């Protein structure tokens, strides 16, 4: 981990929880995310990583919100059908003084909106896709399917689980 000057306010220091989450991404994507995360912190952009990889079970639980559980809908995808299930997506926000700021919270602040867009553009320049551009508008979601479809990833994982299962016999 990089050394941080002590003078930085707490919300700009490197957060080990974020680093942990970035390290759960697909191995081909970790460097992209780490570079951007460190650069943001260096440039006083309070990037926070909310989610990277989710298990099928976590995904299914999220899917229930706004459907069979009260609250807002959090995802349109069941377990196995989200790029998060394969470590191919990041949900980010900003974090200031322990408070999470989502896109809706910062949209009207030009400086923060620019920070947000810098992050989106930087990931896009590395081949990622941003939910900011989707009709469903998910400005904090970015993903990189590494040139495959989600079903291909699902089938690969299924095969891997099946082979790993034999290893345990």
Residues of this chain that interact with Zn ion (CB under 5 A) are 89, 91, 141
Identify the three-state secondary structure at position 109: coil
- For the bound state, the minimum distance from the C-beta of residue 64 to Zn ion, rounded and expressed in Å, comes to 16
Give residue for tokens 């919300």.
Answer: 11
Residue with Cβ nearer Zn ion (45 or 88): 88
User: How far apart, in Å, are the Cα atoms of 50 and each of 28, 131, 156?
Assistant: 20, 15, 26
- For the bound state, the minimum distance from the C-beta of residue 76 to Zn ion, rounded and expressed in Å, comes to 10
In the bound state, the residue with its beta carbon closest to Zn ion is 141
Phi and psi dihedrals of 94, rounded to 5? -105, 155
- For the bound state, the minimum distance from the C-beta of residue 25 to Zn ion, rounded and expressed in Å, comes to 12
- For the bound state, the minimum distance from the C-beta of residue 31 to Zn ion, rounded and expressed in Å, comes to 20
CB atoms within 10 A of CB 95: 19
Phi and psi dihedrals of 151, rounded to 5? -65, -35
Residue with Cβ nearer Zn ion (15 or 91): 91
């Amino acid at each position: 981990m990089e050394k941080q000057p002590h003078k930085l306010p707490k919300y700009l220091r490197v957060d080990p929880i974020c680093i942990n989450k970035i390290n759960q991404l697909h191995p081909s994507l970790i460097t992209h995310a780490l570079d951007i995360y460190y650069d943001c912190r260096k440039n006083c952009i309070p990037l926070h990583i909310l989610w990277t990889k989710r298990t099928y079970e976590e995904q299914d639980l999220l899917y229930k919100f706004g459907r069979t559980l009260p609250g807002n809908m959090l995802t349109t995808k069941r377990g196995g059908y989200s790029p998060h299930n394969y470590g191919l997506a990041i949900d980010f926000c900003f974090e200031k003084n322990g408070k999470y700021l989502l896109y809706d919270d910062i949209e009207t602040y030009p400086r923060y909106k620019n920070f947000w867009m810098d992050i989106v553009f930087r990931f896009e320049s590395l081949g990622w896709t941003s939910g900011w551009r989707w009709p469903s508008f998910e400005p904090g979601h970015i993903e990189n399917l590494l040139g495959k479809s989600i079903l291909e990833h699902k089938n690969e994982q299924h095969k891997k689980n099946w082979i790993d299962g034999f290893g345990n016999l």
